[in-house]
Amino acid sequence: MSMIFGADSIFPSNTRLTNGYTLYDWVMRMNCFPAFWGRNISGENQIKEDEVNFLKEKDCRIALIIRHLSEIDVSKNNGETDALEAAERAKALNVPDDGSIALFVDIHDDWTVNHNWMIGFAKTLSENGYVPGFIGNTGSSKNLGFNHRHGHFANAAKDDREYGALYWATEPKLDGEPSDWSPFFPSDFTADKISVWRTGTVSVNDISANADYIRDESILKYFL
């Protein structure tokens, strides 16, 4: 089964490494041409116009990630304010708000997340013209938090089809390209509902990027 390779990083993709390569070129050398690159629109080292242009020149789509939130934020009851802030950051980057582009929130594997926050966050993002996305440990391999809370979210938002939410799995970790599509997934749906799978890392000294895969080119339409 052929999969489509991409990457995501906290560091800018055009960061110059000590070995002379940019981070993008090093990832390409260690793997292959990335079809997409995940970059944060918030938090440390957030993407700027020059990097957007750099990736577009490489014909590389950009997966937009919200990384400034903490466990305290995502464990609140209401995610509306956080979603509105994310939407404003996207608009400042001239990201279309026509319902075509996803904004993924990065939920760390060891965090607890409140399903009510997920509902408010997803609903508000959708109402403001963006597809909600969640990055997290979608199985119970290390932590039951996201898997368990997703069930409550999915049940509560089922009449709204979960606001079209996309999911980006972070487990299991693998070396190299997966031979089959088997990311961990919540107990209330199947692996084919996972849009992106983060499998490992590529690093030079203290600078690293994550290796990711998608199964279907149709997912690329949700990236900038």
**In this prediction, what percent of the chain has a pLDDT beyond 70?**
97
Domain assignments of the chain as residue spans, ordered by start: 4-222
How far is 120 from 221, CA to CA, in rounded Å?
A: 24
Q: What are the distances in angstroms from CA 90 to CA 48, 55, 64, 224?
A: 11, 17, 8, 10
Q: How confident is the model at residue 142 (pLDDT cuts 50, 70, 90)?
A: low
Location of structure tokens 């995502």: 74
Location of structure tokens 């390569």: 21
What is the full DSSP assignment across 109-145?
A: TT----HHHHHHHHHHHHHTT-EEEEEE--SSSS-SH
Query: For the domain with range 4-222, which CATH number is right: 1.25.50.20, 3.40.309.10, 3.20.20.80, 2.160.10.10?
Result: 3.20.20.80
| pLDDT at residue 41, as a whole number | 94
172 preceded by cis ω (within 30°)?
Answer: yes
How far is 169 from 184, CA to CA, in rounded Å?
A: 7
Q: Is the pTM of this model over 0.75?
A: yes
Q: Residue 202 in contact with residue 26, Cβ under 8 Å? A: yes
| pLDDT at residue 72, as a whole number | 93
> Could you read off the pLDDT of 189-220 as tens digits, one per residue?
889 999 999 999 887 778 889 999 999 999 99
